[in-house]
Structure 1
Amino acid sequence: MSGKWTNFQDFIRRCGGAVTFERFMREALYHPECGYYAQHISDVGRGGDFSTSSTLNAILGDAVAAWLMARRREHFGDLPCTVIELGPGNGSLMRHVLHALDGAGERGLFSFGAVETSPVFRAALKFALPEDRIEIFDTLVQAFESCDGRALVYSNEFVDAFPAVQLTWQQNDWREVYVGLDGDEPLEASKPLLRGIDADAPTRVRDELRLFVHPSYHSWVRRSMSRLKAGAVLTIDYGRAYPSSECRAYRRHERLEGIDVYAWMGEQDVTCDVNFADLQRWGEQLGLRTEGLCTQAEFLETWLPDLEARTQASPAAAFVANPFGAGGAFCVLEQSRR
């Protein structure tokens, strides 16, 4: 850690003049005293800096609940099972899931846990779900230990919150992007890449092409998912099954790009698209079986037989399911261990 800082300029000066983009993102989001998720995020949805599919409408939670009911029977038969949500935030998705399970008469067949590191959201979850006994864990390893590694795991917009490495194609090679200052203005520069990164690279490149990869999530997967003994994993996030060149920040529902991602360090979300081809390969390296990869729109169509009627009745539901809206921007990866 660089100590407590007040803004991007102060942070860079305390760090001696330049840091990797990955370190900037890690401290901007997770610094215990200054970071966005650690201290400054207030909420998700209309009153926060950004919205998620689950804060717009219940259909994603209903589809996840249908998936959970089917996969419980498939993996655990008539037995109850543990469900773990990764990064539940303010609990909006979990509330929808629990409501759908109640409606189907299957709530009693599941025990729920949550892996949440943000102290702001950990406190919020206790108020958001007061009638439910949701055990909150610091790590997925702890959650797996509580259920002997037998669980159904799901997440929405979890992977994109991991610090990303920014690479650029220069001098006929991939170089790592560092951030510093030119006077008081943010300045990006590149240096030779000094570490190996297991990630897809584009087949076609051009000078100054930018690429964002998530080796920090890869490390987390290796530490955590290896503890899954039986069950399934559902990962929902925005991205595609190819390398990502998209990075942005959100503050009060305003989308900020380029040099503006440094403007409100610690007071805004910073996020990068996810390469699902990497996620699939990293899971398979650990022995997880890929069961499917599709768009959010296709996932909703699979699990909600009344989807058409619901999207006709609600503009918010229509946006979440629209293949040209959130339904196409988000992908859904299902993996399992049998």
Structure 2
Amino acid sequence: MSDLAKLIQQEIATSGPITFAWFMEQALYHPQWGYYTSPGTKIGRTGDFYTAPTVNPLFGTMLARWLYQMWDAADRPAQWVVAEYGPGTGILARDIVAALRRNHPDLYATLNYYLIEISDTLKELQQQTLTTGEPGADHKFHWVNRLAEISPGYITNGCILANELVDAFPVHLVRQSGGELQEMYVSLSNKEGDSVFTFVPGPLSTPELAEYFNSQNVQLEEGQRAEVNLQAREWLAEVTAHLQRGYLLTIDYGATSEELYAPFRHDGTLRCFHKHHLVDNPLTNLGGQDITAHVNFSTLITWGEQLELRKKELVSQPQFLINLGILDILKEQPDYTQDPEFAKITSAIKQLVLPGGMGGIFKVLVQEKAVSQGN
């Protein structure tokens, strides 16, 4: 049994069943034993999952083009901040800044890029990635633990990026039973003489869970299970408190409330990944597997509007990239049949925009604050 499992078992033995949100937070973010905070490769071929930036630098190039458009729409301020939550290996930051330096030098000259990272292990990996990039570009990068640490405590002009961030926020698990909404807690049971984690139903840990569904006019079917991401609202409040003027870009897999809680999703969307394989049980291999749930973009929009973040755009990732001109790149190669590098680019475009690739279930939400309504 792992040290993390022992810690959680002790908590249950002392205080009783725990919410899955607390369990998931420990499994992913415990300072010493959490999945994201402990050493080990998480992303890429030798890790547990892929992200769009690991496919090809083209994804970062497209986001650099989008950043340039937003900077231009904001009247080209003399200082422009990009703050990236959960920057992973640092590949996306590297590719964005390299593309800005190459294609948009006027924006590059105004840029400061902040990586918001709580894991010391990942910070070291990001620093390795970014110090081996283009010479002279590393002075653009800065590390903070929280958005509030960006001096003087807020972003006057800029963009906040969240690529595959919100899906890893801890979620509450609920189910409809006997006409009532119940919460699913993590408890202990005895199996062949050993204590193992198991789910048990109980009353809601907070009235916010019932309010969450009422506010969206959602009624789960009898026996249906679902996830509720209350931390997303806290995160949006943090963003809007420290963004004076600019944009929030959220890229993640998810759906609207209507799609997310439809009857065909009887068992919800909670998923675990280990070595690129789907794992059904989130209560095993603590700290050794990723745990995610689909993002509810309807609530991000509603909560954002309550916090002065206006929805600018919600589209699929393929449409977002197509709107930015990703397909035009195919026209830029006069003799693509003989160019192996262009073959890689073509493969990356297919992965990012075609059905069945990474872009199939990803959505892009752009929200803005205090930017001209006409832009």
Question: After TM superposition, is the score higher than 0.5?
Answer: yes
Match of residue 123 from structure 1? 124
Match of residue 280 from structure 1? 301
Written as runs of structure 1 = structure 2, the 5 A alignment for 1:20-99 is: 20-77=19-76, 79-99=78-98
Residue 163 of structure 1 aligns to which amino acid in structure 2? P
Q: Using the TM superposition, give the Cα deviation of residue 151 of structure 1 relative to its aligned residue in structure 2, in angstroms.
A: 1.8
Distance in 2, matches of 1:147 and 1:162, equals 23
Q: Using the TM superposition, give the Cα deviation of residue 325 of structure 1 relative to its aligned residue in structure 2, in angstroms.
A: 2.8
* Alignment of 1:199 onto 2:212: yes
Match of residue 338 from structure 2? none
Match of residue 353 from structure 2? 321
Distance in 1, matches of 2:290 and 2:40, equals 8
Task: Find 2:147's aligned residue among 137, 140, 144.
Answer: 140
Q: Is contact 1:53-1:320 (8 Å) kept?
A: yes
Unpaired stretches in structure 1, ≥5 consecutive residues: none
Q: Using the TM superposition, give the Cα deviation of residue 207 of structure 1 relative to its aligned residue in structure 2, in angstroms.
A: 2.0
Match of residue 231 from structure 1? 246
Residue 267 of structure 1 aligns to which amino acid in structure 2? G
- SS in structure 1 at match of 2:282: helix
Q: Is contact 1:40-1:267 (8 Å) kept?
A: no
Match of residue 173 from structure 1? 180
Q: Is contact 2:58-2:345 (8 Å) kept?
A: no
Moved more, 113-122 or 76-85: 76-85
Match of residue 101 from structure 2? 102
Residue 271 of structure 2 aligns to which amino acid in structure 1? R
Q: Is contact 2:56-2:345 (8 Å) kept?
A: no
1:78–1:13 Cα change, 3 Å: closer
Residue 128 of structure 1 aligns to which amino acid in structure 2? T
Residue 12 of structure 1 aligns to which amino acid in structure 2? Q
Distance in 2, matches of 1:95 and 1:139, equals 20
Residue 150 of structure 2 aligns to which amino acid in structure 1? A
Unpaired stretches in structure 2, ≥5 consecutive residues: 132-136, 262-267, 331-341, 371-375
Task: Find 2:8's aligned residue among 11, 22, 30.
Answer: 11
Cα deviation per residue 1:261-315 (whole Å; 9 max; x = unaligned)?
2221011111111000011111111011110101101100011253572799532
1:49–1:307 Cα change, 3 Å: farther
Q: Is contact 1:114-1:136 (8 Å) kept?
A: yes
1:148–1:327 Cα change, 3 Å: closer
Q: Which has the larger radius of gyration?
A: 2
- SS in structure 2 at match of 1:211: strand
Distance in 2, matches of 1:199 and 1:332, equals 22
Q: Is contact 1:168-1:176 (8 Å) kept?
A: yes
Task: Find 1:249's aligned residue among 272, 275, 280.
Answer: 272
* Alignment of 1:336 onto 2:368: yes
Residue 204 of structure 2 aligns to which amino acid in structure 1? L
- SS in structure 1 at match of 2:3: coil
Distance in 2, matches of 1:90 and 1:313, equals 21
Distance in 1, matches of 2:116 and 2:77, equals 26
Task: Find 1:187's aligned residue among 188, 192, 198.
Answer: 198
Task: Find 1:306's aligned residue among 324, 327, 347.
Answer: 327
RMSD: 2.3
- SS in structure 1 at match of 2:212: coil
Residue 94 of structure 1 aligns to which amino acid in structure 2? A
Q: Is contact 2:198-2:283 (8 Å) kept?
A: no
Moved more, 16-25 or 34-43: 34-43
Residue 195 of structure 1 aligns to which amino acid in structure 2? T
- SS in structure 1 at match of 2:235: helix
TM-score with structure 1 setting the length? 0.91
Q: Is contact 1:56-1:317 (8 Å) kept?
A: no
Distance in 2, matches of 1:311 and 1:78, equals 38
Distance in 2, matches of 1:18 and 1:255, equals 26
Q: Using the TM superposition, give the Cα deviation of residue 48 of structure 1 relative to its aligned residue in structure 2, in angstroms.
A: 1.5
Match of residue 222 from structure 1? 237
Moved more, 288-297 or 315-324: 315-324
Distance in 2, matches of 1:10 and 1:73, equals 51
Superposed structure 1 runs of 4+ greater than 6 Å apart: none
Q: Is contact 2:282-2:291 (8 Å) kept?
A: yes
Distance in 2, matches of 1:276 and 1:167, equals 19
